Amino acid sequence: MQTVEANGARIPAIGLGTMTLKGETCVEIVGAALRLGYRHLDTAQMYGNEAEVGQGLKASGLAREEVFLTTKVWHANLAPGDFERSFDESLKKLDFAFVDLLLIHWPNAAVPMADMIGALCKVAADKRARHVGVANFTVGMVEEAVRLATVPLVTNQVEVHPYIDQRRLIETCRTHGLSVTAYCPLARGGVPSDPVLQRIGAAHGKSASQVALRWLVQQGLVAIPRTANRDRLAENLAVFDFDLSAQDMADIAALRKPNGRLVSPPHAPRWDT
Protein backbone atom coordinates (compact mmCIF):
# COMPACT_ATOMS: atom_id res chain seq x y z
CA MET A 1 0.00 0.00 0.00
CA GLN A 2 1.34 3.41 -0.98
CA THR A 3 1.60 5.83 1.94
CA VAL A 4 1.62 9.60 2.34
CA GLU A 5 4.13 11.00 4.81
CA ALA A 6 3.27 14.13 6.77
CA ASN A 7 4.94 15.54 9.87
CA GLY A 8 6.06 12.11 11.07
CA ALA A 9 2.94 10.14 10.11
CA ARG A 10 2.78 7.52 7.35
CA ILE A 11 -0.83 7.36 6.19
CA PRO A 12 -2.01 4.68 3.74
CA ALA A 13 -3.12 6.53 0.62
CA ILE A 14 -6.45 4.71 0.31
CA GLY A 15 -8.60 4.15 3.36
CA LEU A 16 -12.10 2.93 4.03
CA GLY A 17 -14.56 5.67 4.92
CA THR A 18 -17.26 4.31 7.23
CA MET A 19 -19.84 7.09 7.48
CA THR A 20 -23.37 5.54 7.24
CA LEU A 21 -22.04 2.00 7.79
CA LYS A 22 -23.97 0.56 10.72
CA GLY A 23 -24.30 -2.59 12.78
CA GLU A 24 -23.25 -5.95 11.43
CA THR A 25 -22.84 -4.50 7.92
CA CYS A 26 -20.12 -2.23 9.27
CA VAL A 27 -18.37 -5.10 11.06
CA GLU A 28 -18.44 -7.25 7.93
CA ILE A 29 -17.32 -4.53 5.51
CA VAL A 30 -14.44 -3.45 7.76
CA GLY A 31 -13.26 -7.04 8.07
CA ALA A 32 -13.62 -7.65 4.34
CA ALA A 33 -11.70 -4.48 3.50
CA LEU A 34 -8.80 -5.43 5.73
CA ARG A 35 -8.65 -8.92 4.28
CA LEU A 36 -8.47 -7.34 0.79
CA GLY A 37 -5.47 -5.25 1.77
CA TYR A 38 -6.84 -2.02 3.22
CA ARG A 39 -4.74 -0.76 6.10
CA HIS A 40 -6.52 2.51 6.86
CA LEU A 41 -9.92 2.89 8.57
CA ASP A 42 -11.72 6.19 9.09
CA THR A 43 -14.52 6.56 11.64
CA ALA A 44 -15.87 9.29 13.94
CA GLN A 45 -17.84 9.75 17.10
CA MET A 46 -20.70 11.20 15.06
CA TYR A 47 -20.91 8.14 12.79
CA GLY A 48 -22.18 6.00 15.67
CA ASN A 49 -20.12 3.01 14.55
CA GLU A 50 -16.83 3.15 16.44
CA ALA A 51 -17.63 -0.09 18.30
CA GLU A 52 -18.42 -1.88 15.04
CA VAL A 53 -15.25 -0.58 13.37
CA GLY A 54 -13.24 -1.91 16.29
CA GLN A 55 -15.01 -5.27 16.09
CA GLY A 56 -14.33 -5.50 12.36
CA LEU A 57 -10.64 -4.79 12.89
CA LYS A 58 -10.40 -7.49 15.54
CA ALA A 59 -12.31 -9.97 13.38
CA SER A 60 -9.85 -9.44 10.53
CA GLY A 61 -7.11 -11.20 12.47
CA LEU A 62 -4.67 -8.34 11.89
CA ALA A 63 -2.61 -6.93 14.73
CA ARG A 64 -3.77 -3.51 15.88
CA GLU A 65 -0.43 -2.00 14.86
CA GLU A 66 -0.92 -3.07 11.24
CA VAL A 67 -3.90 -0.77 10.69
CA PHE A 68 -3.95 3.03 10.62
CA LEU A 69 -7.09 3.95 12.58
CA THR A 70 -8.63 7.43 12.58
CA THR A 71 -11.49 8.82 14.63
CA LYS A 72 -12.82 12.32 15.22
CA VAL A 73 -14.25 14.50 17.98
CA TRP A 74 -17.58 16.13 17.10
CA HIS A 75 -17.82 19.92 16.98
CA ALA A 76 -20.13 20.05 20.03
CA ASN A 77 -17.42 18.44 22.19
CA LEU A 78 -14.43 20.70 21.56
CA ALA A 79 -14.25 22.59 24.86
CA PRO A 80 -11.24 21.25 26.80
CA GLY A 81 -13.07 19.07 29.37
CA ASP A 82 -15.63 17.86 26.84
CA PHE A 83 -12.89 17.01 24.35
CA GLU A 84 -11.09 14.63 26.68
CA ARG A 85 -14.33 12.93 27.79
CA SER A 86 -15.34 12.47 24.16
CA PHE A 87 -12.02 10.90 23.25
CA ASP A 88 -12.18 8.59 26.28
CA GLU A 89 -15.61 7.42 25.09
CA SER A 90 -14.29 6.81 21.57
CA LEU A 91 -11.44 4.65 22.83
CA LYS A 92 -13.85 2.63 24.98
CA LYS A 93 -16.16 2.03 22.02
CA LEU A 94 -13.29 1.10 19.71
CA ASP A 95 -11.91 -1.07 22.53
CA PHE A 96 -8.35 -0.11 21.74
CA ALA A 97 -5.72 1.69 23.80
CA PHE A 98 -4.87 4.17 21.06
CA VAL A 99 -5.77 5.57 17.66
CA ASP A 100 -3.25 6.46 15.01
CA LEU A 101 -4.96 9.74 14.21
CA LEU A 102 -7.42 11.91 16.11
CA LEU A 103 -9.12 14.79 14.31
CA ILE A 104 -11.27 17.75 15.19
CA HIS A 105 -14.25 16.80 12.99
CA TRP A 106 -15.53 20.33 12.40
CA PRO A 107 -14.41 23.65 13.90
CA ASN A 108 -16.77 25.32 16.34
CA ALA A 109 -17.05 29.10 16.22
CA ALA A 110 -18.16 29.15 19.88
CA VAL A 111 -14.90 27.60 21.08
CA PRO A 112 -11.69 29.65 20.80
CA MET A 113 -9.17 28.11 18.42
CA ALA A 114 -6.56 28.10 21.20
CA ASP A 115 -8.85 25.93 23.34
CA MET A 116 -9.68 23.50 20.51
CA ILE A 117 -6.07 23.04 19.47
CA GLY A 118 -4.87 22.98 23.06
CA ALA A 119 -7.24 20.13 23.90
CA LEU A 120 -6.24 18.26 20.73
CA CYS A 121 -2.54 18.53 21.52
CA LYS A 122 -3.07 17.58 25.16
CA VAL A 123 -4.51 14.17 24.30
CA ALA A 124 -1.51 13.52 22.06
CA ALA A 125 0.86 13.88 24.98
CA ASP A 126 0.10 10.45 26.47
CA LYS A 127 0.29 8.73 23.05
CA ARG A 128 -3.31 7.53 23.08
CA ALA A 129 -3.51 9.52 19.87
CA ARG A 130 -0.27 8.87 18.01
CA HIS A 131 -0.97 11.74 15.61
CA VAL A 132 -3.47 14.58 15.51
CA GLY A 133 -5.02 16.76 12.86
CA VAL A 134 -8.09 18.66 11.77
CA ALA A 135 -10.98 18.35 9.36
CA ASN A 136 -13.00 20.93 7.45
CA PHE A 137 -10.54 23.72 8.27
CA THR A 138 -10.20 26.64 5.87
CA VAL A 139 -6.92 28.25 4.81
CA GLY A 140 -7.00 30.77 7.64
CA MET A 141 -7.95 28.12 10.19
CA VAL A 142 -5.10 25.84 9.12
CA GLU A 143 -2.61 28.66 9.49
CA GLU A 144 -3.93 29.61 12.94
CA ALA A 145 -4.05 25.98 14.08
CA VAL A 146 -0.44 25.35 13.01
CA ARG A 147 0.66 28.48 14.87
CA LEU A 148 -1.08 27.36 18.07
CA ALA A 149 -0.26 23.63 17.97
CA THR A 150 2.39 22.28 20.34
CA VAL A 151 2.65 18.99 18.42
CA PRO A 152 2.71 18.56 14.61
CA LEU A 153 -0.64 18.43 12.81
CA VAL A 154 -0.54 15.75 10.13
CA THR A 155 -3.67 16.21 8.01
CA ASN A 156 -6.66 18.34 7.12
CA GLN A 157 -9.56 16.09 6.07
CA VAL A 158 -11.76 17.97 3.61
CA GLU A 159 -14.05 17.42 0.64
CA VAL A 160 -11.95 16.80 -2.48
CA HIS A 161 -13.10 15.37 -5.81
CA PRO A 162 -12.87 16.48 -9.46
CA TYR A 163 -15.73 18.99 -9.17
CA ILE A 164 -14.45 21.18 -6.31
CA ASP A 165 -11.50 23.56 -6.47
CA GLN A 166 -9.37 23.04 -3.36
CA ARG A 167 -6.02 24.08 -4.86
CA ARG A 168 -5.37 26.97 -2.49
CA LEU A 169 -6.22 24.92 0.60
CA ILE A 170 -4.09 21.98 -0.56
CA GLU A 171 -1.13 24.28 -1.17
CA THR A 172 -1.52 25.85 2.29
CA CYS A 173 -1.55 22.42 3.94
CA ARG A 174 1.55 21.36 2.02
CA THR A 175 3.37 24.54 3.02
CA HIS A 176 2.92 23.54 6.66
CA GLY A 177 3.73 19.86 6.16
CA LEU A 178 0.14 18.63 6.46
CA SER A 179 -1.33 16.01 4.18
CA VAL A 180 -4.81 16.40 2.75
CA THR A 181 -7.31 13.58 3.24
CA ALA A 182 -10.11 13.64 0.67
CA TYR A 183 -13.60 12.70 1.78
CA CYS A 184 -16.42 12.28 -0.76
CA PRO A 185 -13.71 11.48 -3.33
CA LEU A 186 -16.33 10.01 -5.69
CA ALA A 187 -18.58 13.05 -5.31
CA ARG A 188 -21.39 11.06 -3.70
CA GLY A 189 -22.06 9.03 -6.82
CA GLY A 190 -21.34 11.78 -9.33
CA VAL A 191 -18.06 10.30 -10.55
CA PRO A 192 -19.07 6.90 -12.00
CA SER A 193 -21.31 8.38 -14.73
CA ASP A 194 -19.00 11.23 -15.73
CA PRO A 195 -18.21 10.92 -19.48
CA VAL A 196 -14.73 12.48 -19.18
CA LEU A 197 -13.73 10.09 -16.40
CA GLN A 198 -15.28 7.17 -18.27
CA ARG A 199 -13.30 8.06 -21.40
CA ILE A 200 -10.03 8.26 -19.48
CA GLY A 201 -10.86 5.05 -17.66
CA ALA A 202 -11.54 3.18 -20.89
CA ALA A 203 -8.07 4.11 -22.14
CA HIS A 204 -6.51 2.55 -19.03
CA GLY A 205 -8.86 -0.40 -18.59
CA LYS A 206 -10.23 1.20 -15.42
CA SER A 207 -13.53 2.57 -14.16
CA ALA A 208 -14.37 6.25 -13.79
CA SER A 209 -14.18 5.83 -10.02
CA GLN A 210 -10.70 4.35 -10.22
CA VAL A 211 -9.62 7.27 -12.39
CA ALA A 212 -10.91 9.81 -9.84
CA LEU A 213 -9.15 8.01 -6.98
CA ARG A 214 -5.95 7.71 -9.00
CA TRP A 215 -6.13 11.46 -9.73
CA LEU A 216 -6.12 12.09 -5.99
CA VAL A 217 -3.34 9.69 -4.97
CA GLN A 218 -1.21 10.77 -7.93
CA GLN A 219 -1.28 14.29 -6.44
CA GLY A 220 -0.06 12.89 -3.13
CA LEU A 221 -3.45 13.09 -1.41
CA VAL A 222 -5.10 10.46 0.79
CA ALA A 223 -8.59 9.27 -0.22
CA ILE A 224 -11.19 7.56 1.96
CA PRO A 225 -14.03 6.30 -0.28
CA ARG A 226 -16.99 4.73 1.50
CA THR A 227 -18.79 1.67 0.22
CA ALA A 228 -20.89 -1.20 1.54
CA ASN A 229 -20.33 -3.17 -1.68
CA ARG A 230 -17.60 -5.83 -1.55
CA ASP A 231 -16.90 -5.55 -5.29
CA ARG A 232 -16.45 -1.79 -4.92
CA LEU A 233 -14.06 -2.37 -2.02
CA ALA A 234 -11.68 -4.19 -4.36
CA GLU A 235 -12.21 -1.71 -7.19
CA ASN A 236 -11.42 1.30 -5.00
CA LEU A 237 -8.18 -0.29 -3.84
CA ALA A 238 -6.94 -1.17 -7.34
CA VAL A 239 -5.55 2.25 -8.25
CA PHE A 240 -1.82 1.71 -7.82
CA ASP A 241 -1.11 -0.21 -11.01
CA PHE A 242 -1.54 2.57 -13.58
CA ASP A 243 -0.58 6.20 -14.12
CA LEU A 244 -2.57 9.07 -15.52
CA SER A 245 -0.86 11.20 -18.16
CA ALA A 246 -0.36 14.93 -17.79
CA GLN A 247 -3.22 15.42 -20.24
CA ASP A 248 -5.44 13.07 -18.22
CA MET A 249 -4.67 15.04 -15.05
CA ALA A 250 -5.44 18.32 -16.78
CA ASP A 251 -8.71 17.03 -18.24
CA ILE A 252 -9.84 15.90 -14.79
CA ALA A 253 -8.82 19.18 -13.18
CA ALA A 254 -10.89 21.01 -15.80
CA LEU A 255 -14.04 19.40 -14.36
CA ARG A 256 -13.94 21.69 -11.31
CA LYS A 257 -16.82 24.15 -11.05
CA PRO A 258 -17.71 27.12 -8.81
CA ASN A 259 -20.62 25.31 -7.14
CA GLY A 260 -18.95 21.93 -6.82
CA ARG A 261 -19.13 21.65 -3.03
CA LEU A 262 -21.49 18.90 -1.81
CA VAL A 263 -21.05 19.08 1.98
CA SER A 264 -21.90 22.28 3.84
CA PRO A 265 -23.97 21.70 6.99
CA PRO A 266 -25.22 24.59 9.16
CA HIS A 267 -22.19 24.33 11.46
CA ALA A 268 -19.70 24.61 8.56
CA PRO A 269 -17.20 27.47 8.62
CA ARG A 270 -17.23 30.29 6.08
CA TRP A 271 -15.59 28.48 3.20
CA ASP A 272 -12.65 29.84 1.21
CA THR A 273 -13.60 31.47 -2.07
Query: Known binder of ligand: residue 105?
Result: yes
CB 154 within 8 A of CB 133: yes
Picking from 123, 158, 129, 149, the residue whose alpha carbon sits closest to that of residue 260 is: 158
d(CA 125, CA 137): 22
d(CA 208, CA 156): 25
Known catalytic membership, residue 47: yes
Check the CA dihedral 76-78-81-85 and report its sign.
positive
Task: Give the 3-state secondary structure of residue 16.
Answer: strand
- The region, left, alpha or beta by phi > 0 then psi within -120 to 50, assigned to residue 19 is beta
- Per the residue annotation, which of 38, 47, 163, 183 is the catalytic one? 47
- Give the containing element (helix H, strand E) for 75: none
118: which DSSP letter?
Answer: H
Catalytic residue numbers?
47
- Which residues does the annotation place in the binding site? 105
- Which residues does the annotation place in the binding site for substrate? 105
